[in-house]
Chains A and B, each alone.
Chain A
Amino acid sequence: MTLSFGGLAALTELSFAVPRGIVKAVIGPNGAGKTTLFNLITGFLTPDRGQIIFRGEAIQGRPAYAVAMRGIARTFQLVQLFDHMTVLENVMVGRHRLTRAGLFGSILRLPAMRREEAAIEARAWEALEFVGLAGRAHQPAGFLPLGLKRLLEIARALASEPRLLLLDEPASGLDQIESDRLGEMILALRSQGLTILLVEHDMSLTMEVAEEIVVLNYGQLLAEGPPRAIQKHPEVIAAYLGSDWQG
């Protein structure tokens, strides 16, 4: 995969690739353009110039749902759950892209639709088990505490069996225990071969799970490489990590 943009005020002439099966992290100070980058990839924004190539296809400028249909799932920096739906139903929406029941199949409860519905529910339970939320399946999602909301968002994204998963600051607002658990989950997904692009401020988490890191500063690529190299990169230390930062 290659991701390249240019011309956008928030991101200038940025170009990098996310190889299949890799956990790649994007770091950088606030305002460096990390969330803008996510919104570009997922079709919520359109680059002025440049291309976003996913599996050999240019996807820039396509509507967000069409990008999602191709297998790019994401979470949001400010959690975006379906508050009035149950935890289970939230994850079931995640199956949308892989299922096809339409209006008439739905209202008439045709047999094919019932089978599909049962399969949706089964897969949703698996995703809930994975993040440890099965016990809360029937609660309205809006009633969950923040830490669990973040996990639910991940479960929902995973239910769509993404080819690329974008996590936008998944650890923000989590306590240490929750964030450790999140790290284990990302590592588990990594070992399953899922391609993940991650934006995260928690450095110890990022260094633990990421195989490659991209550093952004003022919308430009500052450095790119494995965590060890990034930690030693003088410009990165000066711009972002601070001189007192210890790996």
Chain B
Amino acid sequence: MNLRRRLLNPWLIFTLGVALVRLSVANDYYFTLLNIIGINTLLVVGLNLLLGYAGQISLGHAAFFGLGAYTSGILTATYGVSPWLALPAGLVVAGVAAVLVGVPALKLRGYYLAMATLGFGIIVYIVFNQAQVLTGGPSGLSGISSLSLFGFPLDSPERLFLLIWPVLGVILLLSANLVDSRLGRALRALHDSEAAAQSLGVNTSRAKLLVFVWSALYAALAGSLYAHTLKFIEPTTFNFMFSIKLVTMVVVGGMASVWGSLLGAAVLTILPELLTVFHDYEVLIFGAILMVVIIFLPRGLVRGILDLWEFRRYKKEGGTFPVS
């Protein structure tokens, strides 16, 4: 039993899985797809901390993703800065932007954050398009340099895989730690009842701002990695539709589930690749998935099914099903 539990450790499975994939995949297309899944998972975990755990909606995460990507892209392509300096610069830019958006929006309750981030996302998208001198405008920014590790250039999808997935593993571990800590509990608490959280000493505005900025940093990290992976970026990648896609990934994978983030990102990154139908009706299909899951399983697909199953266990003890 103990051995079995040890073997079922998700971190062990993750590490072995990544190693196994690395050994069995031998095709650049698949490595690129896996890298995109890894990057999307980074975004989704970050958004999940905010949306799934703390219950705060951001409709502008594509913008933070874009700020990370463009900061890295512009600094390395135009100014020849080292990618390892450009990456933290991207974090700083996105972090500062998140503070500027978050401070006024999070003082108010309700959907102000959703509105503010929606507006912010649109503004940033317009800037990417219009600031042609810096960003290259709608035709995109090319010539972004590769990352390198100890003088070893990470210039192929296969080599990048060896950076992105271990980084993702660390981020997942840090996120799981966060969720199961004093701060993580405070975030989950304010999601369920802001009044009760405050009555126990949780400074809810501050906690919400902290997790909002923190999740924007994940997005910026993902953006930098994205820019160095594709070496070319264009504004459409970072539009409003992508923010909605990220929310859909969180919802499908499961709100408040670190591992669900990986699932949601993987499924909704692979699905459009498999089904060509998807390309024509992408907006419709993502919209429909989002709507159906939110209406019937507000805590997300996986989480919602687990909840129903758990409830069956406790029903006989006279419990009530919580209103979600």
Binding site for B on A (CB under 8 A): 42-44, 63-66, 68-69, 73-74, 76, 80-85, 89-90, 92-97, 99-103, 105-109, 113, 116-117, 120, 139-140, 142-146, 156-157, 160
**How far is B310's CA from A107's CA once the two chains are assembled, in angstroms?**
28
> For chain B residues 156-210, which have a beta carbon within 8 Å of chain A?
174-175, 177-178, 181-186, 188-189, 191-193, 195-204, 210
Contact B319 A82 (CB under 8 A): no
Given A84-B191, A85-B185, A145:B322 Cβ within 8 A: no
B281 at the interface (CB under 8 A from A): no
- Which secondary structure dominates where chain B touches chain A? helix
Given A85-B192, A93-B197, A106-B184, A65:B204 Cβ within 8 A: yes
What is the CB-to-nearest-CB distance from A71 to chain B, in angstroms, rounded to a whole number? Answer: 9
9 closest A-B pairs by beta carbon, nearest first, are: A142-B322, A97-B201, A106-B181, A143-B319, A80-B196, A83-B322, A64-B198, A68-B201, A82-B192
Partner of B210, one of A63, A100, A103, A146: A103
Contact A156 B200 (CB under 8 A): yes
Nearest-neighbor residue (CB-CB) of A95 within chain B: B182
**How far is B180's CA from A120's CA once the two chains are assembled, in angstroms?**
12
Nearest-neighbor residue (CB-CB) of A143 within chain B: B319
Contact B311 A143 (CB under 8 A): yes
> For chain B residues 283-324, which have a beta carbon within 8 Å of chain A?
299, 307, 310-311, 314, 317-324
A94 contacts across to B, CB distance below 8 A: 200
**How far is B178's CA from A47's CA once the two chains are assembled, in angstroms?**
38
Q: Give the number of chain B interface residues (Cβ < 8 Å).
A: 41
B65 at the interface (CB under 8 A from A): no
Contact B198 A65 (CB under 8 A): yes
- Which secondary structure dominates where chain A touches chain B? helix
Given A80-B193, A83-B192, A84-B256, A96:B186 Cβ within 8 A: yes
Binding site for A on B (CB under 8 A): 174-175, 177-178, 181-186, 188-189, 191-193, 195-204, 210, 214, 256, 299, 307, 310-311, 314, 317-324
Nearest-neighbor residue (CB-CB) of A106 within chain B: B181
What is the CB-to-nearest-CB distance from B288 to chain A, in angstroms, rounded to a whole number? Answer: 26
What is the CB-to-nearest-CB distance from B178 to chain A, in angstroms, rounded to a whole number? Answer: 5
Contact A81 B192 (CB under 8 A): yes
Given contacts A63-B203, A96-B202, 9 further A-B contacts (CB under 8 A): A44-B195, A63-B198, A80-B196, A103-B214, A106-B177, A107-B175, A108-B174, A142-B319, A143-B317
B197 contacts across to A, CB distance below 8 A: 65, 82, 93
Given A101-B181, A103-B183, A76:B322 Cβ within 8 A: no
**How far is B188's CA from A81's CA once the two chains are assembled, in angstroms?**
11
Contact A108 B177 (CB under 8 A): yes
**How far is B197's CA from A76's CA once the two chains are assembled, in angstroms?**
12
**How far is B201's CA from A105's CA once the two chains are assembled, in angstroms?**
19
What is the CB-to-nearest-CB distance from B203 to chain A, in angstroms, rounded to a whole number? Answer: 5
**How far is B175's CA from A144's CA once the two chains are assembled, in angstroms?**
29
Contact A82 B189 (CB under 8 A): yes
**How far is B206's CA from A69's CA once the two chains are assembled, in angstroms?**
15
A100 contacts across to B, CB distance below 8 A: 182
Given A84-B192, A107-B174, A160:B185 Cβ within 8 A: no
**How far is B42's CA from A170's CA once the two chains are assembled, in angstroms?**
44
Contact A42 B182 (CB under 8 A): no
**How far is B109's CA from A64's CA once the two chains are assembled, in angstroms?**
15
What is the CB-to-nearest-CB distance from A54 to chain B, in angstroms, rounded to a whole number? Answer: 14
**How far is B185's CA from A116's CA once the two chains are assembled, in angstroms?**
14
**How far is B199's CA from A66's CA once the two chains are assembled, in angstroms?**
9
A102 contacts across to B, CB distance below 8 A: 183
